[in-house]
Amino acid sequence: MKIRSSLAKGRHLLGGLYRRYLKPASVVAAQDSAQALPGQTFKQERLRRIAPHLICSNCAGELNADKSICQRCRQTYRHTAHCFNFLTTEQQRACKIVPTENVAANDYDEIAAAIIAEQANGLILDCGAGCHNTDYANVINYEVASYPSTDVLGVGESLPFRAETFDAIFSLNVLEHVSDPFACAREITRVLKRGGTLYCVAPFLQPVHGYPNHFYNMTAQGLSQLFEKRVEIIEHKVPPSGVPIWAVNWILRSWADGLEGQTRADFLALRVGDLIADEPSGYLARDFVTQLSAEKNFELACTTMLLGRKI
């Protein structure tokens, strides 16, 4: 989904952006324009550029000269030469951030590359950037995990940046992993400039996955609702990486991985017609259904149920 601030004064940039999105050469343009190089060539430049825009992630107050103490709430931060660290213990607890050995690492697609090229002189926030092997001077890498490419540590629900800091923001397969996607969406639009571009991708039919938790999947309507009050949605579609075959393939592969021996072999030998010949209730006693572990059932569940008692 590509969306632009609803307060934009004009649309002169949109035609150029659409043309760039459709050209394979846009990837090369991004590398040339933003001087993308392996390693962390632009790390210090990015830290220098973002420093004036930093605020307290606890209360949004002003920070002292070295950005280590909030002048309002006196929250202290332990930064390093590698990144600004605004991830407090309270935020880790509230947002359920847990240690993990998982590493999220993906290259940018053509749309993101085109935006990077378009904003060569601007500033882009990758909110939930993961670990990138390609270095851009104009892309601030924001994460809950301290990867080599991470520039600022913090949570999406409380971004430590001034309002209207960024010319563009990426949120690429991230919102399902945050404990409060509504708060995260509000924060993303707060720090996006008027007329700025937001590029957001979120899953709908995907199994449980990823770092550090997987809280939510969303329908197209749900994703739109997160942003539509604060931005103008200029396009919302299913990308090639999101067409149904990805969901079917992922679910079936994961299902097969949860089976062993002859049951696995029998499952792999089934045809599509075999799986849809009967109502789901007709398969409940089959080995490929009954032999899935509880963990695998949660990963691939059609629904889950919860029974609780008020405390």
- The pLDDT tens digits for 230-250 are 999 999 999 999 999 999 999
pLDDT tens for residues 131-159? 888 889 999 999 998 889 999 999 999 99
Q: What is the pLDDT of residue 2?
A: 66
Closest CA to 155 of 137, 173, 174, 139: 174
Q: What is the pLDDT of residue 85?
A: 96
CB 200 within 8 A of CB 175: yes
Q: What is the pTM of this model?
A: 0.85
Most distant CA atoms of the chain, gap in Å: 68
Q: What is the pLDDT of residue 11?
A: 32
Closest CA to 217 of 267, 254, 178: 178
Q: Which two tokens stand for residue 291?
A: 């032999």
| Separation CA 146–CA 103 (nearest Å) | 10
Q: What is the pLDDT of residue 101?
A: 61
Q: What is the pLDDT of residue 67?
A: 97
Does the domain at 2-241 match CATH 3.40.50? Answer given as yes
Average pLDDT over residues 91-110: 75
Helices 110-118 and 14-21, packing angle to 10 deg = 140
Average pLDDT over residues 8-17: 35
Q: Above pLDDT 70, what percent of the chain? A: 84
Residue-averaged pLDDT of the chain? 87
| Separation CA 190–CA 97 (nearest Å) | 23
DSSP 62: P
CA distances from 310 to 215, 307 (A): 22, 10
| Separation CA 223–CA 38 (nearest Å) | 33
Average pLDDT over residues 149-174: 97
pLDDT tens for residues 25-70? 333 334 344 444 445 689 999 999 999 999 999 999 999 999 999 9
Is the confidence at residue 21, as pLDDT, over 60? Answer: no
CA distances from 181 to 62, 163, 283 (A): 26, 19, 36
| Separation CA 152–CA 80 (nearest Å) | 10
Q: What is the pLDDT of residue 99?
A: 66
| 267 Cβ contact partners less than 8 Å away, ≥ 6 residues apart | 255, 256, 259, 288
Q: Is 130 helix (H, G, I), strand (E, B) or coil?
A: coil
| Separation CA 99–CA 225 (nearest Å) | 31
Closest CA to 267 of 279, 254, 282: 254
Q: Is the peptide bond before 212 cis (omega within 30 degrees of 0)?
A: yes
| Separation CA 56–CA 85 (nearest Å) | 11
Q: Above pLDDT 90, what percent of the chain? A: 76
pLDDT tens for residues 180-225? 999 999 999 999 999 999 999 999 999 999 767 899 999 999 999 9
Sequence ranges of the chain with CATH classification 3.40.50:
2-241
| Separation CA 24–CA 8 (nearest Å) | 28
| Separation CA 189–CA 212 (nearest Å) | 23
* pLDDT confidence tier of residue 103, bands split at 50, 70 and 90: low
Q: How many residues does the chain have?
A: 311
